[in-house]
Structure 1
Amino acid sequence: MLVIAYYSRAFHTQVDEPVLKMLLVMIRSVIQISLVIGWCSSVGTRIINKQVRHYLIAVGILLAFWLILRTCKWEFIAQNGTHLGRYLWYGYYIPMVFVPLFGVFIIDHIGKTENYKTPRYMKYLYIPAVLLVLSVFTNDLHQCVFSFPNGIEYGESDYNYQVLYFITMAWFILLGIYFVVMLIKKSRVPSSKSFQKLPAVILGISIIFWVLYCMQIVGGDLAAIDCIMIISLLESAIQSGLIPSNTSYKELFCSSTVSAQIVDTNYQPCMVSGTATALTADVMKSAKAEPVDLGDTILHSKAITGGYVLWQDDVKQIKELIKELRYTRERLGESNELLKAELELKENRAGTEEKSRLYDRIAKEVAPQLAKAEELLKLAESEPEQNKSAIAKVSVICAYIKRRGNLLLLEEENNIIPARELEYCIRESLDNLRLGNIFTSFDSKCDGEIKLAHAVVAFDFYENIVERLLDDATAMLIHLDCKDGIIKMRLQIGCNEDIAEHTLSELSVPCGNFEWDIQDEDVTVTLLLSQGGDGK
């Protein structure tokens, strides 16, 4: 088609018949414009990125517009001095300004993802582009692009270039150079010093032509040649894969390793991949409702325009893995049962050892009381008349052993206990003292918490005094005050005979302080354990 257009232009200059000249002009123009429009149409169906597709179509439309202006200007309005002819001339600068701008936008998308969009800051380039076009179309008013020394009517044949013309041409040349340089840069093959061959060849041919044209060695329809070069450069970027397109999909589908095929509405295969297996129409139809298990593969179906696409997922390895996982799960289940039984055994053993440790500690702490209780029980057996007295004393000692053991258990959990725990210990001991016909009275004010070590000291101190005076005691009055971690305990004990001072002289406490006062048959003992006292 380009050859026909070329010879139409060549014959056009050699014939004199007006009708034939017009026919040749129309043939050439229709061929050139149709090829540009056809390229735009193909771009609309091939290019994936929406913005790049719009830019390429805009370039094609501008090039077709340029060719139309060229034809109207030089073939239909050839005479100079008309306003229409001059504005057709001005119209050339619309594609000259916007085509390189769109080229910059297109080159920015090369190498980017499909969803990449032109940055906002680059879109500000529209502002100088529009101003340049407006300056050309308003040239008749200011003549800052072209000046006409002999008047506007002779402007197309007699004009001078002004500053805005050079700015416009600088825009055209600089953006064009940027497009060419970036195309060369982005044509480089990754991890290599070589470049994509097709864009390099087109660039080389274009440079050679422009050199020969400037040396006046070759000539031709410059507008048409520029359009061919621009389209060839853009098409080379498409064919080289720099601008992603959806061409060669059939070859890609057929060589794909995915087991897939496209069938029509009658389930007749239209396109089959290299690894797809033959399927019956009944099997294909059954996959329409739900995936079909074919053993090592799962068949899926999806409706598309004019038929269906069917593909098979290879699940052989997945099934083997599932089988291995089941076997592993069974083995792990058995191992878990063994581990669980072993853990329970260890927990039971640890619990038993912990109980034994606590029992041993309790026995060690209350060993003197256990020995004394045993001695009293033997006395009750050997001397029946002492039976009641001995049993009463044993009950007091047993109450101490019980409560002392309880305090040891609490110590395993926390070093701070409610103050009422000490009250419970003394109250239970006093309850057992009444069995030995000892009058008891207990006044207690216990609030808050106290150190467990202090509670142990106070209870041991109380028990020590009780055991020392148990044989002679007739009455026991106790006042216990626990507040803000301070323990204050006062014991008033009445006996049936005078109390020897040495009975209490051996008393001691690991922390705090105490004092006693003996008045004949009565004794008063006061214990004070402050909050900051040493207690473990």
Structure 2
Amino acid sequence: MPINRKHRIELIFGMSAVMVAGMARAVLDKTALSYDYLISLLLMTVYLMWLFASRRRFPHKGMRRILTVSALLMMLWNTVDTLNNEFITKDSDLSRQIWYWYYLPMVMLPILLLMAAFYIGRTDSYELPRKWFIAFIPVLGLAVAIGTNDLHQLAFEFENGSMKRYRCGPLYYCAIGILIFSVVGILFKTLRSCSKRQFSRSFMLPAAITALGGIYFISYRISDEPMLFQRMYDFPDFTCLFFMCFWESLVITHMLPSNADHKEFFSASSISAGLVDDEMEIYLRGENSPRPTKDQLTEACVKEVLSGSNVLKVQPVVGGYFYWLEDISELQELNERLEETRSYLEEEHVMLDTANKLEESRRRTAEQNKLYDSISERLNPEFESLSKLLNELPADEDDFRAVMKRAAIDGVFIKRCSNLLLLAGSSDHIDSGELGLSVGESLGYLELSDIWGQADIPKGRELPAETVLFMYELFNGTAKCALDDVHAIMVTLRLDDGIDFRIELDCECQPVKDETFSRAEELGGSIETVREDGSTYVIFTAKGEAVQ
């Protein structure tokens, strides 16, 4: 980005002031006129202008602090030099001491600007490590050593005690070495931050200023008669101007990034944002940024404001507010697609739920049909027996009554056995109370045939479903076998150490068929038939594991 108009004016004014100060010194040096105040005023103006421009261009607090201290050192150096030239006798001890202490800012300035260069490319929160400030210790030590040169003359060795003829010592060259090292360090740091193309295009100006400083230093040391630009600028002034011009050359060529044109950059950008004052008047915004109203900005201070496909947000800053607009058109489009997907999934869910219900209904129907088929198959002999009885009803009334009583006994068995089979289809265990209800209802129908019965069966105990069915079938088969001879039936069930199911008949008969014994063994139990005192006992026992 080219330098702006304000920066251009500052450069022209600064260069003009420096040139006027140099020409005034060169012209008035051979006269009796006092010119130091004029030169000091011009250079002080240049230093102040550079100070304020640097604080404006570089937002990083650390860099601004260092540049401020550097500018203050230049102004202090200029002030002390002016006072020395105007009020202190040359070649005096005080003048010599002031001349020694010129080297304090001369070694401090390059180190300060080198540290400022290390802020290039850093974030605003970056601070130089504290250990770097250790570098000031040898620098201050060198300045103090030069200031006490009269004690050791390691910086300057005078001939015959005159300040006009002297030889430079090792401390002087150490100071010059710090200057050269700092210039090279600043160049190295800035060159690392710029591209190859930028280096080839912009390196000439800093290199020319560095070369000019080198020429001044070499000619200052080897020539007895000062050249024109040596007469224009004293060594202290030239050192300050050299570092200031060297720093400005890095800014002008953009090798040193600055923040001089942030307003223009912000205005020319495509960012949808801006700055407003406390009265919600827009101070700065992007050229293509929508212009929100005061009411929208005021409302956005409390909550986000939706305007079409944009969301307006406001954040308070020093002196006003920063607002920005977020484009949520893609998010809105995504929400619409998600809504369509949700509707589609809801329809799919309804269809799948209906299909699952139909499948579940079909499965339950199939299971019920399978269960009904198994019940029908298991009770088929009973159905055939009942059908035979009903198809061969006798004409005699007494015989008809007897057949119907027998049919009622078969019917209640079919009913109760079907119920137990349905319970067995949904669970592997049946409550013992169901067996009691089934035996009790059958005994009630046996009373129609003048057969009196009693059942003592506890409830609330879970028994294997097949065992419950077997015990009820055992009771029904025993009762039917002894139907013509029996007058009373007693049924008991004990579940203390296992299953003890007893059927007592008041007649002597053989009520148990042979296949019943084998079925009892398959269920893990056994059947025992006992006859004594005119009664028959049918006892079914099973192990304790059969009871829960």
Q: TM-score, normalised by structure 1?
A: 0.71
Structure 1 pair 491–198 and aligned structure 2 pair: CA distance change class (3 A):
same
Q: 2:543 aligns with which of 519, 528, 532?
A: 528
Task: Compare 175-184 and 244-253 and name the one that shifted more.
Answer: 244-253
Equivalent AA in structure 2 for residue 469 of structure 1: T
Structure 1 pair 400–130 and aligned structure 2 pair: CA distance change class (3 A):
farther
Equivalent AA in structure 2 for residue 493 of structure 1: I
Structure 1 pair 248–519 and aligned structure 2 pair: CA distance change class (3 A):
same
Is 1:133 equivalent to 2:143 in the alignment?
no
Structure 1 pair 169–331 and aligned structure 2 pair: CA distance change class (3 A):
closer
Q: Distance in 1 between matches of 2:201 and 2:85?
A: 34
Structure 1 pair 118–410 and aligned structure 2 pair: CA distance change class (3 A):
farther
Structure 1 pair 505–293 and aligned structure 2 pair: CA distance change class (3 A):
closer
Q: Distance in 2 between matches of 1:324 and 1:443?
A: 68
Gaps of 5+ in 2: 1-16, 394-399, 447-451, 483-488
Query: Are the counterparts in 1 of residues 210 and 246 from structure 2 also a CA contact under 8 Å?
Result: no
Q: Distance in 2 between matches of 1:144 and 1:422?
A: 118
Q: 2:118 aligns with which of 108, 113, 116?
A: 108
Equivalent AA in structure 1 for residue 100 of structure 2: W
Q: Distance in 1 between matches of 2:28 and 2:47?
A: 22
Query: Are the counterparts in 1 of residues 524 and 543 from structure 2 also a CA contact under 8 Å?
Result: yes
Paired residues, number: 489
Q: Distance in 2 between matches of 1:167 and 1:147?
A: 9
Is 1:47 equivalent to 2:36 in the alignment?
no
Q: 2:239 aligns with which of 219, 226, 239?
A: 226
Q: 1:79 aligns with which of 77, 90, 105?
A: 90
Equivalent AA in structure 2 for residue 497 of structure 1: E
Q: 1:202 aligns with which of 161, 181, 205?
A: 205
SS of 2:121's partner is: coil
Q: 2:190 aligns with which of 180, 183, 191?
A: 183
Instruction: Give the equivalent residue in structure 2 for 1:25.
Output: 36
Shift of 1:491: 1.7
Alignment of structure 1 residues 131-530 onto 2, 5 Å? 132-134=139-141, 136-137=143-144, 140=148, 146=154, 161=169, 172-187=179-194, 189=195, 193-196=196-199, 200-213=203-216, 215-216=218-219, 220=230, 221-241=234-254, 244-249=257-262, 251-252=264-265, 255-257=268-270, 275=288, 318=329, 335=344, 338-339=347-348, 341-375=350-384, 377-378=386-387, 381=390, 382=393, 384-410=401-427, 421-435=430-444, 436=446, 437-443=452-458, 446=461, 455-472=464-481, 474-480=489-495, 488-495=498-505, 496-499=507-510, 502-507=514-519, 513-520=524-531, 521-528=536-543, 530=545
Query: Are the counterparts in 2 of residues 427 and 442 from structure 1 also a CA contact under 8 Å?
Result: yes
Q: What RMSD, in angstroms, separates the aligned Cα atoms of the two structures? A: 5.0
Equivalent AA in structure 2 for residue 405 of structure 1: L
Shift of 1:270: 9.1
Query: Are the counterparts in 2 of residues 5 and 28 from structure 1 also a CA contact under 8 Å?
Result: yes
Shift of 1:4: 0.3
SS of 2:538's partner is: strand
Equivalent AA in structure 1 for residue 26 of structure 2: A
Q: Distance in 2 between matches of 1:272 and 1:503?
A: 102
Structure 1 pair 297–178 and aligned structure 2 pair: CA distance change class (3 A):
closer
Gaps of 5+ in 1: 412-418, 483-487
Instruction: Give the equivalent residue in structure 2 for 1:6.
Output: 22
SS of 1:194's partner is: helix
Query: Are the counterparts in 1 of residues 375 and 418 from structure 2 also a CA contact under 8 Å?
Result: yes
Instruction: Give the equivalent residue in structure 2 for 1:61.
Output: 72
Query: Are the counterparts in 2 of residues 69 and 88 from structure 1 also a CA contact under 8 Å?
Result: no
What per-residue deviation string (whole Å, max 9, x for no partner) do you get for residues 313-353 of structure 1?
A: 698x94x9969977x78976875675455334313311221
Larger-gyration structure (1/2): 2
What per-residue deviation string (whole Å, max 9, x for no partner) do you get for residues 428-459 of structure 1?
A: 4344344245422225785xxx8xxx833433
Q: Distance in 2 between matches of 1:306 and 1:231?
A: 33
Q: Distance in 1 between matches of 2:115 and 2:458?
A: 97
Shift of 1:184: 1.4
Q: TM-score, normalised by structure 2?
A: 0.70
Structure 1 pair 116–300 and aligned structure 2 pair: CA distance change class (3 A):
closer
Q: Distance in 1 between matches of 2:344 and 2:88?
A: 97
Query: Are the counterparts in 2 of residues 258 and 275 from structure 1 also a CA contact under 8 Å?
Result: yes
SS of 2:197's partner is: coil
Q: Distance in 1 between matches of 2:262 and 2:417?
A: 95
Shift of 1:75: 5.2
Instruction: Give the equivalent residue in structure 2 for 1:414.
Output: none
Q: Distance in 1 between matches of 2:492 and 2:172?
A: 121
Structure 1 pair 465–261 and aligned structure 2 pair: CA distance change class (3 A):
closer
Shift of 1:213: 3.5
Q: Distance in 2 between matches of 1:160 and 1:2?
A: 29
Shift of 1:294: 9.6
Query: Are the counterparts in 1 of residues 309 and 332 from structure 2 also a CA contact under 8 Å?
Result: no
Q: Distance in 2 between matches of 1:100 and 1:509?
A: 111
Equivalent AA in structure 2 for residue 408 of structure 1: G
Shift of 1:60: 2.2
Is 1:117 equivalent to 2:126 in the alignment?
yes
SS of 1:506's partner is: helix
Shift of 1:469: 2.5
Query: Are the counterparts in 2 of residues 261 and 270 from structure 1 also a CA contact under 8 Å?
Result: yes
